[in-house]
Structure 1
Amino acid sequence: NIDQPASTLWYHSHVHRLTGPQVYAGLAGLMIIEDPDAAISGLPNSYGVDDIPLIVQDRAFDDDAQLVYVSRGPTLMHGLRGGQILVNGVIRPKAGVPQGVVRFRILNASNARIYTFAFEDGRSFHQIGTDGGLLARPATMNSLVLAPAERAEVLVDFSDGKSARLLSGQDFNDPMASGNMMGGMMSRMMGADFGGPTTIDEDGRFEIMSFEVNQAKAAKVQAIPVNIASAPSEPDWGEPVRERSFSMEMSMGGMMGSQNSMSINGKPMDMSRIDSQIKLNETELWKVSSNNMAHPFHIHGTSFQIVSQNRQKVAFDQTGLKDVFLVQGEAEFLVRFRKKADSTTPFMYHCHILEHEDAGMMGQFTVS
């Protein structure tokens, strides 16, 4: 029985210490939840025509076009990044779209890379959904940042009939992004493309994919809606009854290949330990902090509301329900659980840079 709003979700392998290599090798997929009882949205909804999933990943290949995965030294400390960008399993594809409004469901399924998506011609687009479902109204923007595991639904207007190329800026969370000296050295040592993607301008942007208008495809929607009728009501969880703090921490042991070089609140992941015990249907305020670099924090078993980032309110497009959020400094979430989890099958919270998760930046909790 699926009990949640319409949303764009995903699933992947979660074997402790093997999540990174298994997801990298392909054990992941997209899942779309639809709500037959929701009001008619007026949004594009013809799958593969004007409602298109975009699963974005970066990968490294050797000279024989085989995937190469390495988790040690810099790739363990900062997460693995590859030099080739794939969308739906294809390197820099080209898609035909109708001459009208098209809905893209974008998933960052990369192990570590953060993307800043934008169109080469500078056209604006409109975010209509976050991890946990639709927003009450579209949010107009020219760029979109997605950390690993984050999803966003956006509307793009192709009514002008022009082709477009989707780009990304450099990963601001990658200390090797500018110049890629270390990536180039790793590529030479491993015989694979661990350097950054090929850039197309002086700003270091690189291609994700391109789009061409196909007149044979019917465009059912010709205008961006003002409001989204099928969006769920904003939850009113009341005042939090308690606060919890979580600090995502790194040590230099990762450079030496230590399996427990990452931690939360000073404790590396231990499958025999329950880190928190949470009460069912009680609202809590979680204060989550990161050190050394930004970390995407993911909570299993619920969606949450972002209260603030570094004591500042977040933009409207971040006010929808989330299950992953890129913490840069300190963030505050309102969290409430409606599903139980016992000590034999606990929920988890963790950094969604998969190499960090595998190295111990994860904890377990029960809900009762």
Structure 2
Amino acid sequence: MMEKTTIIVKTHKNLERIAASYIRDLIPDSEVLVKPNGYAGIILLKVKSVDAQTLKTTLITIPEIEKILFVRKCVEANLDRICEAVRHLARVSLKENEKFAVHTVRRGNHPFTSIDVNIKVGTCIQQETQCKVDLTLPDKIFWIEIIDNKAYISIVSRDIFYRKKTPDKLDNMKYLKKTIIVQMPYLDEIASSKIGVRIGRIVQSYEIPSIIVAPIYRVNAKELMYFLQGIHEGIMSRYKLQLKTYNDRKVSKTRVYLHDLYQLVRNINRDKEGIIITTTKGQPIKEETITKVKSLYMDKKKVYVFIGSREGIPTGLFKFADILLDVAPQITLATDVAVSSIISAILNMLLL
């Protein structure tokens, strides 16, 4: 009797049955168990042994499928049994000087946690092979899916993860920490608050150290209050989410200031601080502009980025700018999207 290959297929929750339907169409002789023991987001697949690459090539054509795990061992969900199985796999799979990681997903009630499994299995692998753990860029990942009383063990490459941080991604934060947003207020009794919330969420998303709201003349205090309250609300909503999301680093909260635009320009220390004014009358993004932006961030401790609102930045201030920048020629950006568009454009120039 031909041996069967066991595969764990992972999907977004509530898409298991759709994925399973396509699997049955593409691999008619497969045994497909959707939501084993009622657990969402998982399909247990058994197929008559064929080339693994052929199976993978078939399965990756199904967009609902997120991960494909070829099971190398299935054992009782017991730390000692799992460790014993992984020892053998590590001995035949890990080459000298290769680095590894352990990833465990546990479903059901057990006298141990996923972290307990990772630590135990990691120690067993090190004892067996002398290979080192590398959680950032491992050569191989020992992936363990525990479903109630069974543990399914796979070995996968690090490409299975789509990571936010990789060595080829440059550090945005060193540039963002130098950036101060100078925003002319959006004044409207109805829309000021909503626009403020959106701007607040954007500057906090980038963890801009501070945003300076800068009117150019006497303004309606009530409308300005709504705008400032909206910015604070947007910052706080995003900041709370970041605290939950970024467990590996400290999150910086954006500060909000109010300053007359003209007096602000007078107070900027031009020896140590730079000015970028964004305007439809500025220079487009080209090699010369990119060089200027890079030099400015390299030479100055702070860079003030001026952004207009319903009115643009007054042309009388243009002569004080180190760079006049037009990030989207022939397009007038809406106030609530201008900040994100401008910050993204500047970062892209700096990282080129």
TM range (shorter): under 0.3
TM-score with structure 2 setting the length? 0.22
Structure of greater Rg:
2
TM-score (norm 1): 0.21
More strand by share: 1
Higher relative contact order (CA 8 A, sep 6+): 1
